[in-house]
Amino acid sequence: MLFSSTIFLFLFLPFVLLVYHLLPRTFRNGWLLVASLFFYAWGEPRFVLLMLTSILINYLFALAVHAYRTRIGVKWIMFSMIVVNLGLLGWFKYSGFFVTSINETFQTTLFVPEVVLPIGISFFTFQAMSYVIDVYRQAGQVQKNPLNLALYIALFPQLIAGPIVRYETVADEINHRRETLPEFAQGVRRFIIGLSKKLILANGCGQVADTIFNMKDLSMGLAWIGIIAYALQIYFDFSGYSDMAIGLGLMFGFHFLENFNYPYISKSVSEFWRRWHISLGSWFRDYVYIPLGGNRVSPWKQYRNLGIVWILTGLWHGASWTFVAWGVYYGIWIMLEKAFLGKLLARVPVFATVWTLVLVLVGWVFFRAETFPEAITYIQAMFVPDVLWDDRASYQLVQNGVILALSCLAATPIPKRIGERFVESSGKVGQTMQYGYAMVLLFLATSALVASTFNPFIYFRF
């Protein structure tokens, strides 16, 4: 079920909210769990059993870790936990990819399993693993009620595409949260902003990107319009989902951490990844990079650690060599920044922002392209084209220039800062106008929804 669907907006969400706030507090967690399982089962009923199995397995692993923490065998429990979780993720997400790669490399004819990828498996697997690891590190309390753990992992606002929520972030709120009218209203407004990002900006830019990426013999201008459109599409698509998840959490009394912080104004690739998909970056930092030694080891081992993290980051995003290349690409640039480039960029901030943006746009080509040849051909059109500009580029710019310009502006902190200053200077009038503005956005987003076709979130496939 999509957040940006009429069924969710006008049936599922109002009904779940109504029942939730009418129920006594004792029964609210149970109702949220039932609603979350129904939400997930709407699209893929059979995979609810997979998610419940994952929850049960990690519930038992955490209990075992808690009980045997002081014994030598606890490390074998942790090893088993990692193998089981990554085994499930690997089978459903990577089995076909690896067998196909073996067949192509060694000219074999091994059977390629056709496995359907469960939506959100990367997200709920990483959440479950982080919970058990935190129990092992004594960074979080063990949850002895399996229904509470199930609610943490299956909670529908963040189940499908994050943000990846640490158990410690919501541990107290599972049983002791307090819903308030001001936070509920704030949640509604945040949800509407995210919905508008998806339906108005992301889908609008996506139409431009899809059109251009399906063309042949691109001019330089057309190639740049296409990749800028895709960069805006994926940003508003994913940050919009995160906004909706955070807003929904507030409606039910949960406080999720921010997942985006205007990444396209970054002055280095390292900064970009501190601002983009923050929950994933912090997960790899805390559970992979630091355990490998982080920055506490020799420079060459630091580069090794970065290489491992970025290969895994690329694989996490998809079972394709283009995603691996995408991860390696960012890993190399971050290594160079760590070695010397970061200091040079810090001296010229304006150039650093432009430089970083160009590098990110090139990276998105690998992310968007289906194959290496497609990616290389597209990058050639961006930098060494046969034609600089053509009528198709002019057409796209004239037809879609407004939505692209608005999206570029919205990808910066400028609109938010203007709104905050207006509210500060206008008091209650400004606050009232904020919600009036949200209602206008809701009307525009709903109109776009009625007129649009099925358009799922990009990160659903991860």
- Short-list 121, 122, 174, CA closest to 144: 174
The predicted-structure confidence for 76-121, as pLDDT tens digits, reads as follows 999 999 999 999 999 999 999 899 999 988 888 888 888 888 888 9
CA distances from 302 to 132, 299, 325 (A): 26, 5, 20
Among residues 21, 66, 176, 317, which one is catalytic? 317
Phi/psi for 302 (5° steps) reads: -60, -45
Same domain, 266 and 135: no
Same domain, 193 and 130: no
Q: How far is the C-alpha of 226 from the C-alpha of 232, rounded, in Å?
A: 10
Q: Tokens 């690997």 identify what position? A: 90
Same domain, 171 and 320: no
Q: What is the C-alpha end-to-end distance of the chain, expressed in Å? A: 16
Q: Which among 177, 203, 223 is the end of a domain? A: 177
Q: How far is the C-alpha of 33 from the C-alpha of 174, rounded, in Å?
A: 11
Q: Print the domain residue range for 142.
A: 6-177
Q: Is residue 1 part of a domain?
A: no
Q: Is residue 371 part of a domain?
A: yes
Per-residue confidence (pLDDT) for residue 116, from 0 to 100: 86
Q: Is the pTM of this model over 0.75?
A: yes
- Short-list 256, 88, 82, 286, CA closest to 164: 256
Q: Please confirm, yes or no, whether 176 is among the known catalytic residues.
A: no
Structure tokens at 73: 């065998």
Counting the structural domains of the chain, the total is 2
Per-residue confidence (pLDDT) for residue 71, from 0 to 100: 80
- Short-list 130, 137, 125, 145, CA closest to 66: 137
Q: Tokens 């690891």 identify what position? A: 133
Same domain, 100 and 115: yes
Per-residue confidence (pLDDT) for residue 148, from 0 to 100: 94
Ranges of the chain with pLDDT below 50: none
Residue 163: is the preceding peptide bond cis (ω within 30°)?
A: yes
Phi-psi sector, 453: left (phi>0), alpha (psi -120 to 50), beta: beta
Query: Helical H runs in 214-290?
Result: 220-251, 269-275, 278-284
Q: How far is the C-alpha of 393 from the C-alpha of 226, rounded, in Å?
A: 9
Same domain, 196 and 171: no
- Short-list 350, 273, 284, CA closest to 316: 284
Residues contacting 232, CB < 8 A, separation 6+: 201, 202, 205, 404, 407, 408, 411
Per-residue confidence (pLDDT) for residue 460, from 0 to 100: 56
Per-residue confidence (pLDDT) for residue 332, from 0 to 100: 96
Q: What is the DSSP string of 421-453?
A: HHHHHHTHHHHHHHHHHHHHHHHHHHHHHHH--
- Exposure string of 297-334, with b = 16+ CB inside 10 Å and e = fewer, is eeeeebbebbbebbbbbbbbbbbbbbbbbbbbbbbebb
Per-residue confidence (pLDDT) for residue 461, from 0 to 100: 58
Structure tokens at 332: 């190399």
- Identity at 361, one-letter amino acid code: L
Q: Is residue 323 part of a domain?
A: yes
Same domain, 299 and 406: yes
Same domain, 268 and 300: yes
Contact predicate 77/68, CB 8 Å: yes
Q: Is residue 145 part of a domain?
A: yes
